[in-house]
Chains A and B, each alone.
Chain A
């Protein structure tokens, strides 16, 4: 029938506690989303590490490439005025 595949890869994201973002923790092999969530539960939350799981087919993820890292992220380096520490506020001025 099928060749003995290890099933597609799903990337797993866990929310550790209410109110915080889901964080990537690893991946699992599974035939479908439902099984991926069950496998992720068994593999990544054996010690109550999470309260919510997202699974995403690995091949559906697009990523920036490491070679372009410089050119891609550098433009923000020369814009220090985006940070509050760029501005000098005289002593005595409060709540700013």
Chain B
């Protein structure tokens, strides 16, 4: 008897869950956003936490290679711009961490995962910024590639993530333009300056097109993630759009894309690129890029060195509260 009741109960639960899934998917198909308190499948929640936290980590780790040049920016104008750009990236990290927190994870936990090397962040930030031109290349190419990805994600189904993306995209176009302006200025300068710009493009081009993720045959986009609008477009589709837009920009300032096999395909109307060194990409992801160890150390140092400030702020707030209660 109890057995039957339990079984009936289970059946009800399964039916209930099926109905919830149905209305969840209908909502997404109709273009509505899913909000934090709405019912969502566990797989949806997990995938979003993974993606959004990696995205948040990428924003704040991305501050490190650029921060490297703030004190050495070639003019006060450039310094003010770079400071504002890096501050924006901190802001992006904050928007994103706060969006992940709506899924019931704590920021402390996410940062812990980053600092212990358990969480991933974008492969691109494990490359060094050797010259001032690298700051130009990052804004132009890395922020440019990120914009392609983020405008797609802004159409995603999870409300807080999509709203954060909309906000971020608005701020990114300044990042993109200031980078291009740096490259343009160098390309119009002395032959050494032009060479410096070309050298930066040579080093950042491949990592930039790789940062958009493995090619579609290596990363089959699950239909489910597409249907749930967690993933909006395939990596290769986003990469193609980025390349199509960037090549004319390079040509305009007289720089050469370091890909001998790159050519415009009249039939498709797109550029086709040479072979991408995916071994390098996966190696960097695994932790063997030129700067992985340094980035992790710098993040950990920042966390450790800022600890007393956080403790002091808490102590101060507690003291204020006590005084207020006593009076």
The chain A residues found within 8 Å of chain B, CB to CB, are: 1-2, 4-7, 9, 26-29, 31-32, 35, 42-43, 46-47, 63, 65-67
Which are the 7 A-B pairs with shortest beta-carbon distances?
Answer: A31-B317, A6-B107, A32-B317, A31-B313, A2-B314, A6-B108, A66-B38
Stretch from B90-98, B133-141, B187-195 that touches the partner? B90-98
Residue B316 interfacial (CB < 8 Å)? yes
How far in angstroms is the closest Cβ of chain B from A13?
14
Say whether B87 contacts A46, CB under 8 Å. Answer: yes
Say whether B320 contacts A32, CB under 8 Å. Answer: yes
Residue B307 interfacial (CB < 8 Å)? yes
Say whether B315 contacts A46, CB under 8 Å. Answer: no
Interface of chain B, helix or strand or loop or mixed? helix
Say whether A26 contacts B98, CB under 8 Å. Answer: yes
Say whether A4 contacts B307, CB under 8 Å. Answer: yes
Asked, given contacts A31-B317, A66-B37, whether A43 binds B310 with beta carbons under 8 Å apart, the answer is no
How far in angstroms is the closest Cβ of chain B from A70?
11
Residue B101 interfacial (CB < 8 Å)? yes
How far in angstroms is the closest Cβ of chain B from A32?
5
Within 8 A of A (CB), among B293-327: 307, 310-311, 313-317, 320-321
Interface of chain A, helix or strand or loop or mixed? loop
Say whether B313 contacts A7, CB under 8 Å. Answer: yes
Bound: A32/B316 CA distance, A: 9
How far in angstroms is the closest Cβ of chain B from A38?
11
How far in angstroms is the closest Cβ of chain A from B157?
15
Say whether A65 contacts B37, CB under 8 Å. Answer: yes
Bound: A31/B309 CA distance, A: 12
Say whether A5 contacts B94, CB under 8 Å. Answer: no
Residue B35 interfacial (CB < 8 Å)? yes
Residue B199 interfacial (CB < 8 Å)? no
Please name the residue on chain A nearest to B109 by beta carbon: A6
Say whether B317 contacts A1, CB under 8 Å. Answer: no
The chain B residues found within 8 Å of chain A, CB to CB, are: 35, 37-39, 84, 87-88, 91, 94-95, 98, 101, 106-108, 111, 164, 171, 307, 310-311, 313-317, 320-321
How far in angstroms is the closest Cβ of chain B from A43?
5
Bound: A65/B38 CA distance, A: 9
Bound: A63/B37 CA distance, A: 10
How far in angstroms is the closest Cβ of chain A from B23?
11
Bound: A32/B323 CA distance, A: 14
Please name the residue on chain A nearest to B170 by beta carbon: A47
How far in angstroms is the closest Cβ of chain A from B259?
36
Residues in A with CB closer than 8 Å to B84 are: 46
How far in angstroms is the closest Cβ of chain B from A49?
10
Bound: A31/B35 CA distance, A: 27
Bound: A52/B133 CA distance, A: 39
Say whether B314 contacts A5, CB under 8 Å. Answer: yes
Pick the contact of A29 from B87, B91, B107 — CB < 8 Å?
Answer: B107
Say whether B311 contacts A1, CB under 8 Å. Answer: yes
Bound: A9/B98 CA distance, A: 9
The 19 listed contacts between A and B (C-beta, < 8 Å) are A4-B307, A5-B310, A5-B314, A6-B107, A7-B310, A7-B314, A9-B98, A26-B164, A27-B98, A28-B98, A29-B107, A31-B316, A31-B317, A32-B320, A35-B313, A42-B87, A43-B91, A43-B94, A66-B39
Say whether B320 contacts A26, CB under 8 Å. Answer: no
Residues in B with CB closer than 8 Å to A31 are: 313-314, 316-317
Bound: A6/B303 CA distance, A: 11
Please name the residue on chain B nearest to A32 by beta carbon: B317
Please name the residue on chain B nearest to A2 by beta carbon: B314
Say whether A46 contacts B95, CB under 8 Å. Answer: no
How far in angstroms is the closest Cβ of chain A from B34?
10
